Chain A
Amino acid sequence: MSEREGKIAVVGDKDSVLVFRALGLDVFPVDDEEQARQTVHALARTHAVIFVTEQVAIWADMYLKRYKSRPYPVVVPIPSAGESMGLGAAGIKSNIEKAIGADILFGKEDK
């Protein structure tokens, strides 16, 4: 953990992530699956927090699963400028089901 200085990276399509550059975050626009995977994989070693758009999260799912149970890096899916795919909510749901065995927070919305 010591070599990480808490840098924040944002990975996603250009439309959605460019604006983060104005806040001083490291922005990495990606266009295809291969690029997304490589970028996320490389960033995992240098950055503490990686925000990825939902599309990138789906593309790089293989790596994200691996990082899930480690403290760092923290990978957070965020919605892109378009419609949200509900990936974040799905993540919460799967966590609840994993820990409790049944979904108790989202139960009402499904009905």
Chain B
Amino acid sequence: MAKLNVNPTRMELRRLKERLKTAVRGHKLLKDKADEMVRRFMLVIKENKRLREEVEEELQTALRAFMLARAVASDDAIEEAVAMTGTGVELKVGASSIMSVDVPVFDIVEQEGGELYPYSFASVPSELDGSISSLARLLPKLLKLAEVEKTCNILADEIEKNRRRVNALEYVMIPQLEETIKYITMKLDENERGATTRLMKVKSMLEEKNDSDGEH
């Protein structure tokens, strides 16, 4: 791993040691975060799978019934029947946070006094009633699915991002810092040894000179 391009000084060494400390701590925190996010993700994704299977099955039954109704009655009659909406669904949207990841939360506000079948029963086949009533029952589940699926999407995304951060710290940043610190320490030690040797050499040269001066 390449070392950073810095001057081998004591000040730089001190700075790098501080950075290494931060990096190691950040790495540990991010790793813990990843673990917890994966745990949460597993809980949500299991629910997602269950809901998805249930909803798809029920929805298909309801939609088939609707298709049958369309086949039996004329297009105009069906369109007329569903055009007038008797009931409505309002949604309160909010956000909650899983490991500081924003995920959506829905609150269904059902309107009171709505009429689910705002048409004349005589003009449309009974399959339509069945289809509408089962869809109305399914709607809260559909919204739950929407919420859960979005949570999964966002969490999966965040887990991936987090993993990149952890890896960048673990395999690039921290080795680089360690290498550079080692390099600076060695360089400083080497300089120190060089200085000592130089002093010793000067001293011995001086002593030699003094000795030869004394002989004369």
Report A's interface with B, CB cutoff 8 A. 1, 4-8, 15-16, 18-25, 48-49, 51, 68-69, 71-72, 74, 76, 78-81, 84, 88-89, 91-92, 95-96, 98-100, 105
Contact = CB atoms under 8 A, between A and B. Distances in A.
A80 B59 CA distance: 8
B92 to A, nearest CB: 6
Nearest to A69: B157
Looking at chain A's contact residues, the main secondary structure is mixed
Looking at chain B's contact residues, the main secondary structure is helix
Contact of B56 (A1, A74, A84): A84
A98 to B, nearest CB: 4
A91 B82 CA distance: 31
B59 A79 contact: yes
A71 B93 CA distance: 10
A89 B89 CA distance: 27
A95 B153 CA distance: 6
Interface string B119-141: 00000000010011001100100
B31 interface: no
Contacts of B156: 95-96, 98-99
Interface residues of B, number: 64
A30 B142 CA distance: 21
Given A7-B91, A48-B106, A92-B49, 14 more contacts: A5-B90, A5-B93, A8-B89, A15-B66, A18-B70, A19-B66, A51-B146, A74-B150, A81-B60, A84-B56, A89-B53, A95-B48, A98-B157, A105-B46
Contacts of A15: 63, 66-67, 70
Nearest to B139: A23
A99 B95 contact: no
A96 B86 CA distance: 40
B99 interface: no
Given A20-B135, A48-B91, A92-B52, A98 B160 contact: yes
A18 B111 CA distance: 21
B177 to A, nearest CB: 27
A51 B142 contact: yes
A25 B143 CA distance: 12
